[in-house]
């Protein structure tokens, strides 16, 4: 299936980086664009794999659209694992703080219940390779059993 990263699609639409857009327009405006791009992708009839940004679940309308128009796989990982993976990342506006690990813990406290609310499947990705995670996702989707 084709793969679409919502963040890449957003950057194509806004014609700049998400980080620059955040700095100029703020998070609320970014979330409006994110909502619109996600709705456009979910309305397509062709099957595809869509990678949402981490905050896509914050808006109730996004969660409703995801539940209504897709199978949702929540790839979960601990804040420590995410911090390790993103330790050199300078493009995520919400993590450009003095204590990124604490920010990740705070974000996960809000987002985890929302991810679980919308998820058809939960796959714990901590300590696994991308291939192993993909195999787990494929197995759960094929079997149709929640994670």
Read off the pLDDT of residues 22-76 as tens digits, 9 standing for 90 and up.
Answer: 899 999 999 999 999 999 999 998 989 999 988 999 999 999 999 999 999 999 8
Question: Where does CATH 3.40.50.300 sit in the chain?
Answer: 1-70, 71-147
**CA–CA gap between residue 14 and residue 33 (Å, rounded):** 8
**Residue 145: its pLDDT value, please?**
59
**Fold observed for domain 71-147:** Rossmann fold (3.40.50)
From the candidate CATH numbers 3.40.50.300, 1.10.287.3510, 2.102.10.10, 2.60.40.1180, the one assigned to the domain spanning 1-70: 3.40.50.300
**pLDDT, tens digit (0-9, with 9 covering 90-100), for 5-16:** 999 999 999 999
**pLDDT, tens digit (0-9, with 9 covering 90-100), for 77-108:** 888 888 787 777 777 777 777 888 898 899 99
**CA–CA gap between residue 43 and residue 28 (Å, rounded):** 23
Please state whether the predicted TM-score (pTM) of the whole model is above 0.75. yes
């Amino acid at each position: 299936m084709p793969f679409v990263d919502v963040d890449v699609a957003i950057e194509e639409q806004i014609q700049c980086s998400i980080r620059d857009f955040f700095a100029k327009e703020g998070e609320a405006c970014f979330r409006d664009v994110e909502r619109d791009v996600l709705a456009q992708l979910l309305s397509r009839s062709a099957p595809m794999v869509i990678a949402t940004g981490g905050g896509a679940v914050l808006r109730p309308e996004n969660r409703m659209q995801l539940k209504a128009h897709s199978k949702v796989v929540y790839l979960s990982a601990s804040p420590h694992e995410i911090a390790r993976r993103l330790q050199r990342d300078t493009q995520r506006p919400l993590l450009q703080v003095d204590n990124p690990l604490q920010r990740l813990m705070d974000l996960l406290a809000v987002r985890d219940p929302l991810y679980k609310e919308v998820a058809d499947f939960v796959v714990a990705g901590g300590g696994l390779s991308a291939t192993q995670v993909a195999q787990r996702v494929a197995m759960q989707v094929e079997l149709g059993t929640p994670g």
